[in-house]
């Protein structure tokens, strides 16, 4: 990788999906952590809109003694919903197919 000066990166493994087993350098933010979600646009062969692969950041491992995490890895999120914030006042996700929940009265 070329010299980027003050910008730091970390080799981060990817698990699941098309990027399974690959290790890519990911730029670190101001806090020293990689972004929570990593989106990879894949161009369409027919020239249509690109498909976006979404990976979410999870701890790579925990130390035995103190339970601290030792780095990060990215896991494939096929739904692509990992980057959405879950506020307490937000509406819950719609049920699949628009059917009411079994708990509805």
49-75 pLDDT tens trace: 988 999 999 998 888 888 887 889 999
Instruction: Check residue 17 and report its DSSP letter.
Output: G
Assess if residue 20 is contained within a domain: yes
User: What was the pLDDT predicted at 76?
Assistant: 93
Assess if residue 89 is contained within a domain: no
Assess if residue 99 is contained within a domain: no
Assess if residue 88 is contained within a domain: no
Give percent of the chain above pLDDT 90. Answer: 30
Assess if residue 39 is contained within a domain: yes
Separation between Cα atoms, residue 6 and residue 87, nearest integer Å: 35
Domain count for the chain: 1
80 pLDDT exceeds 80? no
Assess if residue 31 is contained within a domain: yes
Nearest to 62 by CA among 52, 74, 53, 71: 71
Assess if residue 91 is contained within a domain: no
Q: Give Cα separations from 85 to 1, 7, 60, 71, 77 (angstroms).
A: 33, 27, 22, 23, 15
Task: For the beta carbon of residue 5, count every other beta carbon within 10 angstroms.
Answer: 6
22 pLDDT exceeds 90? yes
Range of the structural domain that residue 67 is part of: 9-83
């Amino acid at each position: 990788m070329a010299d980027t000066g003050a910008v730091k990166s970390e080799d981060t493994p990817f698990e699941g999906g098309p990027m399974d087993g690959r290790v890519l350098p990911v730029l670190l933010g101001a806090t020293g952590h990689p972004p929570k979600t990593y989106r990879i646009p894949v161009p369409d062969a027919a020239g249509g809109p690109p498909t976006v692969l979404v990976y979410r950041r999870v701890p790579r491992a925990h130390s035995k003694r103190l339970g601290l995490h030792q780095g990060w890895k990215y896991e494939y999120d096929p739904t692509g919903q990992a980057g959405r914030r879950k506020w307490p006042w937000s509406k819950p996700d719609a049920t699949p197919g628009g059917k009411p929940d079994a708990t509805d009265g």
